[in-house]
Amino acid sequence: MGIVSEYMCDRTHGTRHAIVIDPADQTPDIAANRALAAAHAGSSMILVGGSTDTDMENVHATIVAIKEALELVSWAASQDSDADAGSGEIPVVLFPQGATALSPAADGITFMVLMNSMDQRFLIGEQVKGAPFVKEAGIEPVSMGYLICEPGGKAGQVGKADLIGPQQTERVAAYAMAAQFLGFRLFYLEAGSGAEYPVNPALVKIARESCDLPIIVGGGIRDSHAARAASEAGADWIITGNITEEYDDASELQTVLTDLISGIA
């Protein structure tokens, strides 16, 4: 197992938090400031990706800016024993829309199958297209079963997902088992970025009971209450995207994320 895989699959920490940065929505500098605020608030990973309008150029520039910012803070912390340490240690991982939005600067990539897509492209097409780049660049792939639940948002539409309803526990159980049997390392339950409501905690709970994989939950989580509900249902990772983009002021964002993370720690 590679370093990023080991880090993401380590279930001894309790629930951890990660932000997702969409390079289509912000400049690399703003992304870097937001990533820093998240790291200071206690986030454990930065995912970079989006459903539309990302390409090699904006993804690469964003990842380079984030990594430089985190490294600088890490270096400063190593020079000053009173400083807030640890921010430089968190991985920056690709969470791509497809094979045309990759960067060799990433620490790893969630190498995913959109399990409930009706489109061959998201089941195996993009993966085959992107594999040579991932190999050549030496980016660590972490295989992931990705399942989109209602309301699904843009990810559901773009990915042509046959969405999982909030009460479809047996369906989720079967997908979770299949994800494990297929050898995936992670299982992600997605409600869609900006979703009006997050994944039903009952679906998280049945996924937890049906496989041994780390469970990632994202989409529509905007406060500590929703984060806690997912965490208590068995989520290993809570992902937030949109709330990160609502704050231009880094210290305000840090406060909001600190509150959200305190709900799951």
Q: Give the DSSP H/E element, type plus range, for residue 256.
A: helix 250-262
Closer residue to ligand 1GP, CB minimum distance, 58 or 193:
193
Tell me the C-alpha distance between 118 and 207, whole Å: 21
Tell me the C-alpha distance between 231 and 113, whole Å: 24
Tell me the C-alpha distance between 180 and 82, whole Å: 44
Contact 199, 189 (CB under 8 A): yes
Select from 57-65, 135-143, 168-176, 239-247 the region that touches ligand 1GP (CB under 6 A): 239-247
> How is the chain split among helix, strand and coil, in percent rounded to 5?
45, 15, 35
Closer residue to ligand 1GP, CB minimum distance, 168 or 244:
244
Closer residue to ligand 1GP, CB minimum distance, 98 or 218:
218
Of 7, 219, 238, 261, the one binding ligand 1GP by CB under 6 A: 219
Of 239, 256, 257, 261, the one binding ligand 1GP by CB under 6 A: 239
Residue type, 76: A
Size of the site for ligand 1GP (CB under 6 A): 13
State the binding string over 8-27 for ligand 1GP (x if CB under 6 A, else -).
------------x-------
Tell me the C-alpha distance between 16 and 235, whole Å: 9
Work out how close the CB of 128 gets to ligand 1GP at its nearest, in angstroms, rounded to a whole number.
23
Work out how close the CB of 260 gets to ligand 1GP at its nearest, in angstroms, rounded to a whole number.
10
Binding site for ligand 1GP (CB under 6 A): 20, 190, 193-195, 218-221, 239-242
